[in-house]
Amino acid sequence: MLYGMVSVIALCSFVIAASCTTRLPDNRTVSGNHSWEGVITVANEVLIALEQQNGKQLASLVHPKKGVRFSPSAYVDLKLDLIFSRDQIERFWTDRKTYLWGYEDGTGEPIKLTPAHYWRKYILTRNFRKAASINVNNDQAAGNTTNNAAKVYPAATRVEFYIKSSKHGSVEQFDWVALRLVFEHVGDSWFLVGLIYDQWTV
């Protein structure tokens, strides 16, 4: 229990939020009866690698066989969402190829971007160190788009960094965003298999 308390304190310090909330599964375990502390630690490592544009470090955290699937909205599209291998992730920020990542939620416009541009528009659009909450298998973001992550990844564990909507006076701006990192446990380690970006849309 003490280790768990220390982990939450460390996580709150990591995101540097004015009010950090960590929502955990009721039984305080995650996929395969593993403790939640480990997956939060790895989620932090993934976020750091993304912030630092460190392809080599990020690749080491990606599932060695399955790679990582990129979903530009809450709905995980098994036909359209791209899956990158570890080798592709290592070259992520130097890859100049334009990929079709899917279609804009709401407008239907094709998302044709290089990996670096995709990262800027559909991964780190905000400072997730200031997340209002970090949620394990307990997604807080809820918009018009169907969130099917739990169904697509039934044996995985999701860590959601959620930034709630800002306010202009007393008026909510509806500009919330969420970054969900999906992990599977292999051997003694957690590996990233999914990266989902969710935001409020009309």
Interval 155-176: pLDDT, tens: 999 999 998 855 455 555 566 8
Listed as ranges, residues in the chain with pLDDT below 50 are 1-19, 167
Residue 77 CB burial class (10 angstroms; 0-12, 13-18, ≥19):
middle
pLDDT at 13: 44
pLDDT at 168: 52
- Please provide the DSSP assignment of 73-86 as one string: SSS--TTTSEEE-H
pLDDT at 15: 47
Note whether 162 and 141 are within 8 A (CB). Answer: yes
Rounded CA separation 84/110 (Å): 19
pLDDT at 198: 93
Note whether 15 and 140 are within 8 A (CB). Answer: no
Q: Of 135, 129, 179, whose CA–CA distance to 22 is shortest?
A: 135
pTM, full prediction: 0.83
Tell the residue number behind the tokens 């959620």, with chain if given.
162
Residue 147 CB burial class (10 angstroms; 0-12, 13-18, ≥19):
buried
pLDDT at 24: 58
